[in-house]
Amino acid sequence: MPDPMRIRASMVGDKVDVKVLMAHEMETGLRKDAKGQAIPAHFIQNVTVTHNGKTVFSAQWGPSISKNPFLHFRFAGGKPGEKVTITWTDNKGEKRSDETTIAGS
């Protein structure tokens, strides 16, 4: 089971400000190991963020997103106490979903 994400969601003005740090190698597939063999690509491809059943942000990524991806975005319509769920899936079919509660202003 992949390591959990660290998510911080808080109110900035009337928007929910979300910062996430995900744990993932984001291996490009271009690096070679000590024997000269290419290390297989292993990277997050899809990220979906939902709040109250609605997708408020989503992304498709390639392997050039940095290792242990960082993401910061803002959406409207959330209130303190409500939950934000973030899910990622990678090119090997691995998946991780974490949720956080929106902190008050």
CB burial of residue 2 (10 Å; 0-12, 13-18, 19+): middle
Among 66, 81, 93, 104, binds another protein (CB under 8 A): 66
Q: How far is the CB of 49 from another protein (least distance, A)?
A: 9
**Helix/strand/coil for 77:** coil
Identify whether the C-beta of residue 16 lies closer than 8 Å to the C-beta of residue 78.
yes
Give the number of other Cβ atoms within 10 Å of residue 88's Cβ: 24
Which DSSP category does 42 fall into?
A: B
d(CA 75, CA 63): 26
97 binds another protein (CB under 8 A): no
46 binds another protein (CB under 8 A): yes
Among 3, 4, 23, 30, binds another protein (CB under 8 A): 30
Among 10, 25, 42, 57, binds another protein (CB under 8 A): 57
Stretch that binds another protein, among 3-11, 64-72, 96-104 (CB under 8 A): 64-72
The contact set with another protein (CB under 8 A) reads 15, 26, 28, 30-31, 45-46, 48, 50, 53-67, 69-77, 87, 89, 91
